[in-house]
Structure 1
Amino acid sequence: MPLPQLNVYRHDRKTRTLITLAGEIDLETVPLMHAALERCLRDGVRTIDVDLASVTFCDCSGLNAFIEAFLTSTTAGRTLRLHYPPPLLTRMVDLTGCDFVLMGLPAVPGPAPLQAPHSSVLDPLPMTRSETVHRLGPAVSDGVL
């Protein structure tokens, strides 16, 4: 069985983290994404920014995982923000009325994030030598890291 097609990159900056997802978010890859978001909360991260510009597909299991992560982080007094959601995810959010997950951030359909890398939607996280950069994934078929 082939490995799920999702890569998760984590860039830490004190109590703020940028999670960059690349590939497909579906039933097979959601456990990897969910584990990365949970790990951020366990590590005491206060703000989690999730860059979805390189996500090529996201199904309803991905939306459910984002809703759960949003509710968990909000309950814990933390912030989870999704940036540059793919058009299919934006459409699902509109259809289900779960726009609170995007926290009012504008969707950037198609390749716009590549054309406007200095968008004010996602504040850059300056990196220093003392910061941690993790590369997680791809996951094995049962979702274990």
Structure 2
Amino acid sequence: MPLPPLNIYRHDRRSRSLVTLAGEIDLETVPLMRTALERCLRDGVRTIDVDLTPVTFCDCSGLNAFIEMFLHTTAAGGTLHLHYPPPMLARMIESTDSGFLLPGPSAVPGPVPRPAALCATAPVPLPVAGFETSHRLVPAVPAVSGGVL
């Protein structure tokens, strides 16, 4: 049985949460990711750490969602930090001056120094019962044959 495009694992400790994303972050899976991060805020979590080690792909819709969630979290008096972004996302963060999403010294202007070992793709963990979440979008408008909308 193939894994869903995005798995989300959440581990809470008091008012802090570690959210691990595994798989692909794109236009189809961003609503699932956004819902999971918003749920952290609704549950009273004010420090959200997002582990991106097992992410295999992230497009600009994912970066946009992370920036949006950073703003929501900050407005709620909390913090959101991305840890170990894949190389593609790290380049987008650097080119858009979104280093505030990364913890520590990377929040200052300039390139994000990353050890070569962190750039390697990590294996995707197997889903754990009770922590697996998957999402499939259904088209809102049926396809129209013979034309362009």
Band the TM-score falls in, shorter-chain normalisation: 0.7 to 0.9
Give the distance between the partners of 1:137 and 1:107, measured in 2 at CA. Answer: 30
Aligned residue for 1:57, secondary structure, equals strand
Consecutive unaligned residues of structure 1, counting only runs of 5 or more, are 115-132
After the TM superposition, which residues 48-87 of structure 1 pair with which residues of structure 2 at under 5 Å, given as runs? 48-87=48-87
Task: Give the 5 Å matches for 1:11-50.
Answer: 11-50=11-50
1:139 equivalent in alignment to 2:140: no
Root-mean-square deviation over aligned CA pairs = 2.5
Contact 2:5 2:134 (C-alpha < 8 Å) held by counterparts: yes
CA radius of gyration, larger in = 2
Cα offset, 1:62, TM superposition: 0.2
Contact residue 82 and residue 101 of structure 1 kept, 8 A:
yes
Aligned to 1:8: 8
Please state how far the C-alpha of 1:21 moved relative to its aligned partner. 0.3
Unaligned ranges ≥5, structure 2: 108-112, 124-128, 139-149
RCO greater where, 1 or 2, for CA within 8 Å and sep 6 or more?
1
Amino acid at match of 1:96: T
Paired with 1:70 and 1:82, the residues of 2 have a C-alpha distance of 10
Query: Matched residue of 1:24: which SS?
Result: strand
In structure 2, C-alpha distance between the alignment counterparts of 1:84 and 1:54, rounded to whole Å: 9
Structure with greater strand percent: 1
**CA gap 1:36/1:134 in 2 versus in 1, 3 angstroms:** farther
TM-score when normalising by structure 2: 0.74
The number of aligned residues is 123
The answer for the alignment partner of 2:94 in structure 1 is 94
- Report % sequence identity: 63
